[in-house]
Amino acid sequence: MEELESQRAAAPSESGAAPRKTGGKMLLLIQAMVFLYSLVSMLCKIASGIMARWGLFSWQFILIFAGMILGLGIYAVLWQLVLKRVELTTAYANKGVTLLWGLVWSALLFHESIHWNNIVGVLVIILGIAMVTTDEQ
């Protein structure tokens, strides 16, 4: 029975590649990407205020918009590199940390209120990420 399980674990997946464990460096890269993505989201909120104040073709809006495009371009390239090396479930599960960064940015930069249900919700998501990305022993 144990031999059968070890053969299954060593067998290649449907894509032809053997399943890989996610190392600490790869998880740090994913978290850095999530952080970058949250920064782009923050720039979107800033851009909406700039557009309302100075208009769509103001240099301020164009500068922020260019920063958003650059950030998303870097994110897209890194995402493709991550998907080559990490199982899809692990990669997508870690994107949920964006909600944590959204709470941080909303409080620090936009002085929005954070309520207990926001905190509990993010903690539940982080617990879910830990459950999805932890290897079964």
What pTM did the predictor assign? 0.72
Q: What is the mean pLDDT of residues 84-93?
A: 87
Binning the chain into helix, strand and coil, the percentages to the nearest 5 are 75, 0, 25
Per-residue pLDDT at 74 exceeds 90: yes
Q: What is the mean pLDDT of residues 70-83?
A: 94
Q: What is the mean pLDDT of the chain?
A: 83
Type of residue found at 107: A
Q: What is the mean pLDDT of residues 53-67?
A: 94
Per-residue pLDDT at 134 exceeds 50: yes
